[in-house]
Every structure is written in structure tokens, then in C-alpha cells.
Amino acid sequence: DTAVSQTPKYLVTQMGNDKSIKCEQNLGHDTMYWYKQDSKKFLKIMFSYNNKELIINETVPNRFSPKSPDKAHLNLHINSLELGDSAVYFCASSQELSNSPLHFGNGTRLTVT
């Protein structure tokens, strides 16, 4: 039973397209996240979301938008894809406690051509 699952694992698309990545967690966690990992392995938080608020990293372009149909899902929509969007995107979840660790999905490798 995968705790945090995201699909697809690989996504290859052309510039200008719109795409979505889905994420589901079965841990009963309150909060979900999207992270971007670049080619140098640097991890940057994009969004955190629980049923109370969405926190957006101000450096994230507004072409990126999270959508949460329910507490267990947080999907990532990307409009007008650009070459620089190529990266690995990780979904994660945690309890809403100050020392709770993150549980990560296995990532979606997005390649924009």
C-alpha cells in the first residue's frame, strides 16, 4: 500500500501545452505539498495546502496551480509549459504538527521539449 502516490511517473510534453500531475495520500494527513527538484537536486517548496489555507511560494509562476478535490488529494496543474519547467515534481504530506516529518511520493519527471 503506497502511502503517497503520484501519477504519472514520467511526463514528456511540448512547450505551450497544459498538463496535470495527480497526487493521493492514504495516511490521513492534514497537509499536502508540492516540491520541485531541479537538475542539481535542489528542492524547493511550491505549495502547502490543508483544509484551512493554501500557502504559495511567491516565486512560483501563476501558471502553476494546485487543486484539492478532497483532503486526500492535491493535484498540480501547469499551464503553458516552458522548457524551464523540466524537473522532478514531488508530492508530500504530513500531519499538522510542528515536528511531523514529510512523507514523499516517488516523483514525476517532467520533460518539456
Partner 1 sequence: AQSVTQLGSHVSVSEGALVLLRCNYSSSVPPYLFWYVQYPNQGLQLLLKYTSAATLVKGINGFEAEFKKSETSFHLTKPSAHMSDAAEYFCAVSQTGANNLFFGTGTRLTVIP
CB of 6 to partner 1, least distance (A): 9
CB of 56 to partner 1, least distance (A): 11
Residue with cell 503506497: 2
Between 73 and 102, CB nearer to partner 1: 102
Residue 18: Cβ-neighbour burial (10 angstroms; 0-12, 13-18, 19+): exposed
Between 59 and 98, CB nearer to partner 1: 98
Q: Applying CB under 8 A, which residues contact partner 1?
A: 4, 31, 33, 40-43, 45, 48, 55, 90, 92, 94, 96-107
In DSSP terms, which residues pair with 56 in a beta bridge?
Answer: 47
Residue with cell 516565486: 59
Supply the DSSP string of 25-85, one letter for each residue: E-S--SEEEEEEE-TT--EEEEEEE-SS-EEE-TTS-TTEEEE-SSTTB-EEEE-S--GGG
Between 33 and 64, CB nearer to partner 1: 33
CB of 80 to partner 1, least distance (A): 27
CB of 93 to partner 1, least distance (A): 9
Between 79 and 104, CB nearer to partner 1: 104
